[in-house]
Amino acid sequence: MAVVCFRKSLSCAGRQLLNVTLSRTITTHAGVIRGSVCRCPAIHRTVNSTIQHAQRAFHTSQSVMVTKILSVDEIFNKKSLHDYLKKKEMEYNTCLQSLNTESQTLDDEDGKIKRTNLSVLGHLVQKIKELEEKQKELEDTQDLLKDNDPELHELAESEKEACLAAIQDLKQKILSLLIPEEESDMSDLVLEVTAGVGGQEAMLFTAEIFDMYQNFAAFHGWGFNILEITSSELGGIRRAAASISGPLSYKKLKFEAGVHRVQRVPKTESKGRIHTSTMTVAILPQPTEISFAINPKDLRIETKRASGAGGQHVNTTDSAVRIVHLPTGTVAECQQERSQIKNKETAMTLLRAKLYSARLEEETSKRYQARKLQIGTKGRSEKIRTYNFSQDRITDHRIGKTIHDMHGFLQGEELLEEMIVFLQRFSEQESLMDILEDNDQNQ
């Protein structure tokens, strides 16, 4: 009775959390509860029913607590958004007036900055005006629908549908214009995969994930160049790196960084038991030499003989290269090629990507620290996704999205694209909500 009264006083979110907690407790101690009441058949049946209900509720609660992505209309219903749009219109008018009155006194740099701001704000303000015009057009069309003339009514219905579609399109464009592009979004990237817990099974899974991203690159027509790969005895991958180049490649793949977990029966398992293994993905934006310079004096370059298969070349040639960035202690190495020069170039590519990623992470850590979707090296320790083969299920734990089709997902085509698009939409929503919250606090 006390629990019931307490539950009534909670918010919806609080009741959901309490349900999960109670269900988890009942599920965990089901054996003890059953044992303590087994002498009375009636109570035993009731408790069994309660436990089964609690277990179902617990598992359901995990899937019910899915991250909600707001629709465009839900976002536009927020007062904070309309306040922010009015603020942007005022900024545009102020900037325009300033340029008109101070054009003779502004130096080149100040003038360039103001003209850039005016261009960005002007595009947004133009879309806001177009939206207002379409909404007025929709109101006029609604009036025509009241007419009794069948032909006029049919024409108005057609115009109404066209107006609604145009309004949705304009709203989406306005939201997109409000979300700033990240500095690295247009970069190419370096993909790193590393086998984690699980021995040979983890290495086999790492190879499957590496192949999935290679297929995804081909699906989008991106370049995929293997920089380094260390294979295992059974055909898995201990560690591998590849550069991926193409439009929006980093923007699409940046949220793939983290720990990927697989649950399945390994081929080497004789008793049919399900094992859990992990592998880690790192997604590093790849800067150009011009955009991110490294002082050669800060580097220590070491050479050594390559290890692994390779015959006489392995035993006689110092082709493997290891580069240490002395100020940070960051290390990159490569022994993929027979040529020391090529290995040095690859190691420098890896090092530049690691240093650039670390710099970006430091700059954006305050913005991202409270978000569910992390980027950079901090996300590498987070378990982001589970691949459960027996249930034919892939679940992303950050947003609660589940896809059922393991074979299709690992093909690295439409289903992986679906997951990534969902992640992008949620990331954009987080960015927009942060902007609106900051605006409310600063008013």
Q: Render pLDDT for 53-88 as a digit per residue (tens, 0 to 9).
A: 444 333 333 333 345 788 999 999 999 999 999 999
Specify the pLDDT at position 356.
84
Amino acid sitting at position 352 = R
Specify the pLDDT at position 11.
37
Specify the pLDDT at position 268.
74
Q: What's the Cα-to-Cα distance from 284 to each of 232, 298, 358, rounded to whole Å?
A: 24, 21, 9
Out of 17-31, 169-183, 338-352, 390-404, least confident range: 17-31
What does pLDDT average to over the chain?
A: 80
> Is the pLDDT score of 41 beyond 60?
no
Out of 33-42, 100-109, 216-225, 373-382, least confident range: 33-42
Q: Rounded mean pLDDT of 295-308?
A: 83
> Is the pLDDT score of 198 beyond 70?
yes
Q: What is the dihedral of CA 265, 62, 409, 380, to 10 degrees?
A: -90
pTM of the model: 0.69
Specify the pLDDT at position 307.
67
Give the DSSP H or E segment for 50.
Answer: helix 41-64
Q: Rounded mean pLDDT of 305-327?
A: 70
Specify the pLDDT at position 103.
62
Specify the pLDDT at position 108.
67
Specify the pLDDT at position 339.
86
Q: Rounded mean pLDDT of 173-179?
A: 93
Specify the pLDDT at position 5.
40
Q: Which of the four pLDDT bands, split at 50, 70 and 90, describes residue 275?
A: very high
Out of 27-41, 150-164, 307-321, least confident range: 27-41
Higher per-residue pLDDT: 187 or 126:
126
Q: Which residues, including other chains, have CB under 8 Å from residue 148's CB and lie 6 or more apart? A: none
Specify the pLDDT at position 127.
96
Specify the pLDDT at position 289.
61
Specify the pLDDT at position 277.
94
First to last CA, the chain: 46
73 half-sphere exposure, CB direction, 13 A CA radius:
4
User: Phi and psi dihedrals of 71, rounded to 5?
Assistant: -75, 165
Specify the pLDDT at position 381.
61
d(CA 307, CA 323): 17
> Is the pLDDT score of 189 beyond 50?
yes
Specify the pLDDT at position 100.
79
Specify the pLDDT at position 308.
57
Q: Which of the four pLDDT bands, split at 50, 70 and 90, describes residue 154?
A: confident
Higher per-residue pLDDT: 40 or 110:
110
The DSSP result for 381-409, as a single string, is: GSEEEEEETTTTEEEETTTTEEE--HHHH
pLDDT-above-90 percentage for the chain = 47
Out of 159-163, 289-293, 300-304, 383-387, least confident range: 289-293
pLDDT-above-70 percentage for the chain = 75
> Is the pLDDT score of 271 beyond 90?
no
R_g (Cα) of the chain, nearest Å: 29
Please, which residues bridge with residue 318 across strands?
none
